[in-house]
Amino acid sequence: MKPKGLSGGVLVALVAAVGLLVGLRSIAALDGFGFLSLLDVESLPREGLGLEWSSRAIWPVEFQSAAILRLVGSLAWLFLAGSTIAALNALILVAEAASARRRDLALRSALGATPLALARMLLAELRTLFATSAVLGLLVGMMMGAAGRATWAGALEPVRSAPAADLLTVVLLLSALVAVVHCAGAWRIPRSARTTAELKAGARVGADPGAVFGRNVLAAFHTATAGAILVAGWMLAGGLGQTATPPESSSTVVIEGTAPTAGAWTAALSTVRALPGVEAESLAAPGALLALGVRDIAIAECGACSRGGLPAPLWNALADHHVVAPGYFDLVGLRLVEGRVFTDQDSADGEPVVVISRAFARSSFEKGLPLGKRIRIGTGFDSWYRVVGVIEDWNMPVLGAERVARETVYLSALQNPVRSGALLVRGDAGAVEAATEVLAAGGFHPDPPVTLSEYRKAATAPLRWAYWMALVLGVVALLLAAHGIYSTALQTSRRRATDLAIRRAVGAPARSIVTYVLRERLKVTGWGLAGAVFLGTLAVAFFQGATGVAAAGPVAYLTIGAGLTAVAVLASIRSVVEAMAVEPSHLLK
């Protein structure tokens, strides 16, 4: 006779565990997190900007690739964490069900059944369960992976084929763990004349203290793991939800293209400026509209600065470099803090000049006063640029951009010609169409024009995808955690129905019985929540470092802890109500 609830509860847990693993595999190969095959990471190419960069320079495409690996890798860990919770559910339910069969196994052992025979009997009960969970888990995982791939907004290439040996190994290992836990009772039943005599005399088979301790530890670890993952999911979904929507922009239109020659953009800007209906125009190198630039060392003339108590007139800063044309800051809505912005006089024949961010001014110049001082950019000893303006700091929630103010350098496109870039135009529909035709006639091969808001919205699509994925995985993890804690608490209390009947038979009031059951369950849950705080802090630190979202506050811990505790209490109360509805004499026969 199989224990009540074994098939249903364990089946749900195994289907969820296998489904989450297959879903992860359907999105990308597990080995090495090969997610780049899903994404168009070359949308921001290696753009030289006409400068000699150092060997430490990092390009926009590398920012994108690293950010994609961190973001989707974090989602992969959520997949695996959800699968872990489901696996723990299955192990706990099997362990609880096995303890209820202790008397049955002892009887069979006393009648001459060997441990091997008992193990074969127990394994036979799992065959249908394993086959059903494997088939259903495969279907659920394939649908989950297909949905994740279908909703991805970037370039979608076929996932490279890879052997499924790693996935098969994990599934087999999970099945083996469930089978071992289920069959452990066959070896823990003592086969001796004393046991047989006790059973003949009508004695009960007592609980195994080691097994009870093991089940409590497993339940506490399940609560700790579930709580930690829920806190991490809360933080990840909440942080991505706040940053996945870019700020609304003006009516500026963006037209991307690649110039046939390095200086062709200057002539194109002059032609576009003369078009009727054009109010303003400018140019931005790849990544500038998304706060992604070439990151390299910039040496600033700091002044009377010191580092470690020693004079440091030259200050090394790791800054993001952008190349833009006159009019850029007005078209994208960046406010000038002091000094001036680029003009048409900042050409190749003029003095090299730069505009820097306020963060750069404060971090690398004496008293935050950079105007008139110089910055050396690139590796050339004569590559000095004079600071003529300071622009407010800004951040964009896109893959690779950081959510803190960074040192930023803006170079003039008239002094540093670029090949790939984005033409910015403000004007009526006819002016935008005419500007597109100018680029097409000049051999720029322009993309269809989009508004700046649409351009940035497309760039933040991966964040919105990750937000919904994190939200769905968080809900799944919550359901699995609630299912595991509720089922464990219910089965644990139901297993003690005879003990509760004895207490009632000797006159114990209902309040003391409820207190007795809740005290034991809350003790296990309390240890689990303590572990959730520890593991949750580690998980929060990991996901914060990987994605840059804000850390989860105490509200997340308190809310999740209260919810998990409430689930355990409700399950315990239900089991007590069930026990109180049965006459003790029926259980003590």
Element (H, E) at 279: strand 278-284
DSSP letter at 58? B
86 within 8 A of 473, measured Cβ to Cβ: no
In whole angstroms, how far apart are CA 246 and each of 165, 357, 464?
A: 42, 20, 11
Best CA proximity match to 405, nearest among 288, 337, 320: 320
Give the pLDDT confidence score for residue 47 in this predicted structure.
Answer: 63
**pTM of this structure:** 0.72
Give the pLDDT confidence score for residue 237 in this predicted structure.
Answer: 79
- Continuous H helices in 45-155: 60-100, 102-110, 115-150
**What is the amino acid identity at position 349?**
D
Give the pLDDT confidence score for residue 250 in this predicted structure.
Answer: 62
406 within 8 A of 320, measured Cβ to Cβ: yes
Q: Could you give the CA distance from residue 506 to residue 484 in angstroms, rounded to a whole number? A: 33
Strands 384-391 and 450-451, by their bridges, are: unpaired
Could you read off the pLDDT tens digit of each residue along the chain, which spans 589 residues? 444 445 677 788 888 888 888 777 766 554 444 455 555 556 666 666 667 788 888 888 777 777 777 777 777 788 888 888 888 888 777 777 766 666 666 666 666 667 677 667 777 777 777 888 888 888 888 788 777 777 776 655 544 444 456 667 777 777 777 777 767 655 555 554 444 554 444 444 445 556 667 677 878 888 888 888 888 888 877 777 766 555 555 688 999 998 888 778 989 999 999 999 999 999 998 888 888 888 888 989 888 877 767 777 888 888 989 999 999 999 988 999 999 999 989 888 889 999 999 999 998 898 888 999 999 987 776 789 999 999 998 876 555 555 567 889 999 998 888 888 899 999 998 999 999 999 999 999 999 999 888 888 777 777 777 788 888 888 888 888 888 888 877 777 776 666 667 666 666 777 777 787 788 888 888 888 898 899 888 888 887 776 767 777 888 889 998 998 998 888 888 877 777 766 666 555 5
Q: Which residues fall within 8 angstroms of residue 456, CB to CB, at 6 or more apart?
A: 246, 247, 249, 289, 290, 396, 398
**Which regions of 112-242 does DSSP assign to beta strands (E)?**
none
529 within 8 A of 227, measured Cβ to Cβ: yes
Angle at 460 between CA 459 and CA 461, to 5 degrees: 95
Q: Could you give the CA distance from residue 566 to residue 573 in angstroms, rounded to a whole number? A: 10
